Structure 1
Amino acid sequence: MPEEPQPNALLVEDDSTDRMEVKIQLEVMGFTVFDISSAQEAREIFPIRDYSLVLIHLGHAPLEALELCRQIRAQSTVPILALTQRGEVLDEELALGAGADDYVTKPIEQRILTSRVTQQIKRGESQRAPRKTLLTWENLSLDLAEHLFRIGGKEILLTNSEYRFLQLLMENPQRVFPKEQVLIAVASLRQSANGSVESYAQQLRAKIKRNGGPDVIDVVRSVGFRLASQELSDVSESLPA
């Protein structure tokens, strides 16, 4: 049986020392942590994957952090923990008013953070809709539970980067992803030898076609990449074979 994937946590913290300490503690608790320093980065990567937990430090730009909290709450029921400074009662009230489920004050005590995270995860699991585990498009299927890719029922071996790139597109069939978001979502592409998302997309498309699959990736000029769609072909072009 395949192992259950680790839950994802998004950590938005502008203090590098605190960010590393919280990240390590969350990893010990079994999370895959995506840690960033700004609300703008959070807006870019939040829609890319499912998160089981979001932690937002009000930090040096509290109004921006509160607006991020509102935006995430408008899109999702994911549990949100605000990280606030000790004694800043107003920050705590504002965070809860902006959609945070709870808060943890700094300096952060491990046992408090663990307790609050555990409580929110249990609450979130009871409210969370089951995640789709089989993605299909024409004769392609991506089994998220088994981590398998098939074309017409035949299993095709993909690298982890290829799998994540294809998963990103198939989970968001109407969305165009800029190159920068692809690099964030598929971190291993940043260490790729050629360093080009365009050439990597071309290689993946060619592999799928060689194995009997359709043209799967469209590039929207000066914008980014998406799952190919005949209905939208007037504004996009297929990558060259």
Structure 2
Amino acid sequence: MSQEATILLIEDEPEIRRFLRTTLPAHGFRLYEAATGREGLTEAKARNPDLILLDLGLPDLEGSEVIRRVREWTATPIIVLSARDQEQVKVAALDLGADDYVTKPFGVHELLARMRAALRHASQSADVSEPVFTLGDLTVDLGRRQVHVSGKEIHFTPIEYKLLTTLIRHAGKVLTHRQLLKEVWGPLHVEEGHYLRVYMRQLRNKLERNPAHPRYLVTELGVGYRLRTE
């Protein structure tokens, strides 16, 4: 995947640009750069990248505005790179349409893993012909609505199954509490966070070998949940 992926970096910090200019091509990515939000929007339309890395603190446009404008015309994965680590900032970026959020300073291996997950999710979304999702010892046959863990079929309530398949459709992507509540329970229940906590606990009890230390269903503290694909 990474051998063909083109990345657009929208970042005004020269140090970050230099670092990623060296790192990403060394891992097989083709990198394009923009130092402002407006330049980034122009590059995004001209290059049609496979993934966008976006800083929030740009000199001309807020990164949130860049996300909003990009989402008007493309579903290209967006990973936010930002020194802003407040939960409300992360939630706002994800609710606007960012796929993930990595806080500066970041480790290159974490960033690469998040990029691979976002690219894989985009590829899986494009290939709707594949009805079976497999991750470790978890297998979900979306056509037959069957779930197996280590070969054993696991039974779910309708809400549990809808929550699981929502996470699968966005595997590798951070989904906020509001996004999950809206999609699974409907727009009238976006403030009912206790619904989500109860059902996530039930999913972990059924899917995880050790629900207290989940391998698959990861909590993004104060933000939401992510189905890990690494």
**TM-score normalised according to structure 2 size:** 0.50
Residue 71 of structure 2: aligned partner: 73
Check conservation: 2:11, 2:58, Cα contact below 8 A: no
> Per the alignment, in what secondary structure is the counterpart of residue 9 of structure 2?
strand
Residue 124 of structure 1: aligned partner: 122
Query: 1:5, CA displacement in angstroms?
Result: 7.3
Residue 25 of structure 1: aligned partner: 23
Q: Deviations over 1:2-55 (max 9, x none)?
A: xx9732110001100011212322212211110111001012121113211001
Of 77, 87, 90, which aligns to 1:89?
Answer: 87
Stretches of structure 1 that go unaligned for 5 or more consecutive residues are: 130-241
Flag the structure with larger Rg: 1
> Per the alignment, in what secondary structure is the counterpart of residue 74 of structure 1?
coil
Check conservation: 2:10, 2:54, Cα contact below 8 A: yes
| Change over 3 Å in CA distance of 1:52–1:72 after alignment to 2 | same
Of 48, 51, 54, which aligns to 1:53?
Answer: 51
Q: What is the identity, as a one-letter code, of the residue corresponding to 1:87?
A: D
Residue 43 of structure 1: aligned partner: 41
Report how many aligned residue pairs link the two structures.
127
| Change over 3 Å in CA distance of 1:5–1:116 after alignment to 2 | closer
Q: Deviations over 1:170-209 (max 9, x none)?
A: xxxxxxxxxxxxxxxxxxxxxxxxxxxxxxxxxxxxxxxx
Structure 1: 4+ residue segments shifted above 4 A:
60-63
Q: Distance in 2 between matches of 1:115 and 1:44?
A: 27
Q: Distance in 2 between matches of 1:76 and 1:59?
A: 22
Stretches of structure 2 that go unaligned for 5 or more consecutive residues are: 128-230
- Indicate the percent of aligned positions where both proteins have the same amino acid: 29
Q: What is the identity, as a one-letter code, of the residue corresponding to 2:126?
A: R
Check conservation: 1:11, 1:23, Cα contact below 8 A: no
> Per the alignment, in what secondary structure is the counterpart of residue 75 of structure 1?
coil
| Change over 3 Å in CA distance of 1:113–1:85 after alignment to 2 | same
Query: 1:85, CA displacement in angstroms?
Result: 1.3
Of 106, 111, 116, which aligns to 1:113?
Answer: 111
Q: Distance in 2 between matches of 1:117 and 1:51?
A: 13
Q: Deviations over 1:37-96 (max 9, x none)?
A: 100101212111321100100125596211111111221111100012163323211211
Q: Distance in 2 between matches of 1:126 and 1:25?
A: 26
Check conservation: 2:12, 2:36, Cα contact below 8 A: yes
| Change over 3 Å in CA distance of 1:62–1:92 after alignment to 2 | farther
Task: Provide the alpha-carbon RMSD of the alignment.
Answer: 2.3
| Change over 3 Å in CA distance of 1:110–1:5 after alignment to 2 | closer
Residue 192 of structure 1: aligned partner: none
Q: Distance in 1 between matches of 2:22 and 2:96?
A: 27
Q: Distance in 2 between matches of 1:52 and 1:127?
A: 13
